[in-house]
Amino acid sequence: MKKFLKSCELFLKKYLQHFVYKSKTKPKKIDSFEQADFLIACKKVLFLRHDRIGDLIVSAPIVKKFRVHYPSYIIHILLSSRNIVAKSCIENYVDKIIVLERKFFGLLDALRILKKEKYDLIIDLFDNPSLTSSLLIKFLKPKFSIGFEKENCHLYTHIVELPSKSTTHIVERLKSLLYIFGIREDTIDLEYPKKETKLLPTRKKPRVGINISGSSFDRYWGTDKFEELIKKIQNRFGYEIVLFGTKKYRKELESLSNNEDVILAPFTQKFDEFAAMLATCNYIVTPDTSVAHIASAYKIPSLVFYHFVDEKFGMPWFPYKSPFRALLSTKSRFDDISPDEAFQKFVSLVELE
């Protein structure tokens, strides 16, 4: 039954892509504030960022700069049921947050809510073609819409050249959207509100936070490998280890936490609490980019696992303006990365300080 539903979903998606992407309209390409005269007629703006937590964190400083330069604008943002948990990084810069629920009629519900708002301008923060963004722009019919020059760009009224994904960090790519609004900022940093937490014991020595869970269990490095890395770190540095992960990894986490000086971070449904616990660490090891972005926001040195196949798909989403070491793998489960290689990268990370 699941396979049948998946086939139906793929068929419907293919049909919608053909319907939405087929157009003869040509948007106006702009590369300077002088060409953005349409801004005079805009007072109500919607940002599209309905994807994952990491995507929201890297986009928050862009929305913040827009708010600072256009304080009188009414600014809304569309988030998803997956990244709404991280709304703390964006809520102070927008007037309203709308959530696109991940359910069968979620898009229709969102369209009904958004249609009433009558936006003057929609800014699509996706640097890949998004079918959902395309449908939203097509049916909401804002006066103006802006996005990067990509497959679905004919739906926009105005487009901006997309910087190279192979050589330009995702934050820098998003920052280029600001130029046409007369905003040229060199001082953009990732931020996430830091809150006090009593969920972990007081740190008595340098602490390494090791997050073992990635975007899916298929990206799990392996209990034996994590255990060996932990022992190498403790034998060399004597650091305290705090393990992080979702409940799906309970068995693996409990197995790893049997070692001395290894603490199991409590499970929490609140992302702010999770971030607060990460903030107590001196170093972070993770296969999850949202955790890497939190490390960047707190300027915590991080060792990050990346599944990287080819440059044509763009550079990995490395930490931004914070110390890091990257472990690049062509295997989905990072099978080609040994504990010894990971440890050597960790040592070089420590030596940066």
- pLDDT mean over 168-193: 91
Tens digits of residue pLDDT in 282-324:
999 999 999 999 999 999 999 999 988 766 668 899 999 999 9
Does the pTM surpass 0.75? The reply is yes
- Spatial contact of 118 and 45, defined as CB atoms under 8 Å apart: no
Query: How many domains are contained in the chain?
Result: 2
Same domain, 138 and 215: no
Residue 352 has pLDDT above 50, yes or no: yes
pLDDT at 16: 53
Boundary-marking domain end, from 127, 146, 181: 181
Which pLDDT score, from 0 to 100, does residue 225 have? 96
Task: Give domain status of residue 297, yes or no.
Answer: yes
Q: Do 240 and 122 have their domain in common?
A: no
pLDDT band for position 168 (cuts 50, 70, 90):
very high
Percentage of residues in the chain having pLDDT higher than 90: 76
Contact 289/307 with Cβ under 8 angstroms? Answer: no
Tens of pLDDT along 199-246?
999 998 999 999 999 878 878 999 999 999 999 999 999 999 999 999
Nearest Cα to 93, choosing from 114, 77, 80? Answer: 77
Q: Find the range with the poorest average confidence among 5-14, 125-134, 159-168, 259-268.
A: 5-14
User: Residues 278, 159: one domain?
Assistant: no
Q: Does 32 share its domain with 160?
A: yes
Mean pLDDT estimate for the chain: 90
Does pLDDT of 128 surpass 80? yes
Contact 48, 125 (CB under 8 A): yes
| pLDDT of res. 335 | 87
13 found inside a domain: no
Question: In sequence order, what are the residues at sequence separation of 6 or more whose Cβ sits closer than 8 angstroms to the Cβ of residue 347?
Answer: 236
* Whole-number pLDDT of residue 312: 64
For residue range 49-91, list pLDDT tens digits in order. 999 999 999 999 999 999 999 999 999 999 999 999 999 999 9
For every residue of 65-98, DSSP letters joined together read HHHHH-TTSEEEEEEETTTGGGGGGTGGG-SEEE
Same domain, 247 and 334: yes
Q: Calculate mean pLDDT across residues 114-132.
A: 95
- Domain match, 174 and 120 both: yes
pLDDT value of residue 7: 54
We report the CATH number of the domain holding residue 131 as 3.40.50.2000
Let me know whether 324 and 234 are in one domain.
yes
- The conformation of residue 330, written as its DSSP 8-state character, comes to S
33 and 140 part of one domain:
yes
For residues 309 and 232, state if they share a domain.
yes
pLDDT of residue 5: 47
Q: What number is the average pLDDT over the span 87-103?
A: 95
| Residue 14 predicted with pLDDT over 90 | no
Closest CA to 322 of 308, 337, 304, 334: 304
Q: Among the three residues 141, 166, 181, which one is the final residue of a domain in this structure? A: 181
Note whether residue 57 is domain-resident. Answer: yes
Question: Could you tell me if residue 251 is inside a domain?
Answer: yes
Q: What is the 3-state secondary structure (H, E, C) of 205-266?
A: CCEEEEECCCCCHHHCCCHHHHHHHHHHHHHHHCCEEEEECCHHHHHHHHHHCCCCCEEECC
Separation of alpha carbons 227 and 343, rounded Å: 12
Query: Is residue 296 one of the residues assigned to a domain?
Result: yes
Evaluate whether residue 254 is within a structural domain: yes
In terms of pLDDT, which residue wins out, 108 or 37? 108
CA within 13 Å, CB half, 197: 22
218 occurs within a structural domain: yes
Whether 227 and 154 share a structural domain:
no
Gap between the Cα atoms of 214 and 130, Å rounded: 23
What would the two tokens of residue 94 be? 């927008």
Q: Which residue has the higher pLDDT, 312 or 186?
A: 186
Band (39; pLDDT cuts 50, 70, 90): confident
| Residue 197 domain flag | no
Residues 170 and 215 in one domain: no
241 and 340 assigned to the same domain: yes
**Which residue segment(s) compose the domain that 30 sits in?**
23-181
C-alpha dist (Å) from residue 198 to 19, 265, 273: 52, 11, 10
- pLDDT higher at 171 or 102: 171
